[in-house]
């Protein structure tokens, strides 16, 4: 509740009582939010519509707990086979799945979250990537350069100390 009130710019017009009731109706959502909190994602409501709302990674920079990770299991296997001496911190897709969430949709990242604040000015974040793109060996990364927000392709097996990921959880409004 305190973060929700402190970051009203992320969810103007959204009533806390409705959010709270919807979360209380979905204990698995509360568990996921707690996991995000423990990992430094600073989860908050950043998008809402008539059907529900999205709670996502709202930390200014991508969380340290997930930095230096590759995109998914396939990229992780590639690293273990082709660069066995390179150290990395697992894969973004598995970390999100372990929290019961998804990677953040690139459209929500660029056209919703980034319009409400300045995120990833010093870090990059792995984002949800469609299979047609991922099948080429590429995955999507989001970042901000000054006033410009980009969603760019990157090799899914690349990892960097400034690369992490942003997650998102969709919650339907309680009846």
pLDDT in tens, 38-76: 999 999 999 999 999 999 999 999 999 999 999 999 999
Angle at CA 72, nearest 5°, toward 59 and 26?
Answer: 55
Q: What DSSP string describes 63-78?
A: -GGG-S-BSSHHHHHH
Over the stretch 83-115, which tens digit does the pLDDT of each residue have?
Answer: 999 999 999 999 999 999 999 999 999 999 999
| Residue bearing tokens 């994602």 | 41
Over the stretch 28-40, which tens digit does the pLDDT of each residue have?
Answer: 999 999 999 999 9
Q: Whole-prediction pTM value?
A: 0.95
As a whole number of angstroms, the distance between CA 139 and CA 75 comes to: 10
> What is the pLDDT, as a whole number, of residue 1?
77
As a whole number of angstroms, the distance between CA 159 and CA 86 comes to: 10
């Amino acid at each position: 509740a305190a973060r929700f009130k402190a970051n009203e710019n992320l969810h103007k017009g959204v009533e806390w009582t409705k959010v709270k009731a919807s979360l209380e109706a979905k204990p698995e959502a509360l568990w996921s939010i707690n996991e995000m909190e423990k990992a430094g994602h600073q989860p908050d409501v950043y998008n809402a519509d008539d059907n529900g709302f999205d709670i996502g990674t709202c930390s200014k920079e991508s969380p340290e707990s997930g930095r230096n990770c590759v995109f998914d299991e396939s990229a992780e296997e590639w690293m273990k086979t082709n660069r066995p001496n390179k150290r990395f911190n697992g894969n973004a897709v598995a970390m999100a799945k372990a929290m019961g969430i998804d990677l953040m949709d690139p459209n929500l990242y660029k056209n919703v979250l980034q319009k409400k604040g300045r995120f990833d000015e010093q870090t990059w974040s792995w984002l949800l990537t469609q299979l047609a793109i991922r099948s080429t060996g590429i995955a999507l990364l989001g970042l901000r350069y000054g006033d410009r927000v980009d969603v760019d392709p990157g090799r899914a097996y690349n990892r960097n100390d400034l690369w992490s990921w942003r997650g998102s959880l969709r919650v339907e409004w309680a009846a």
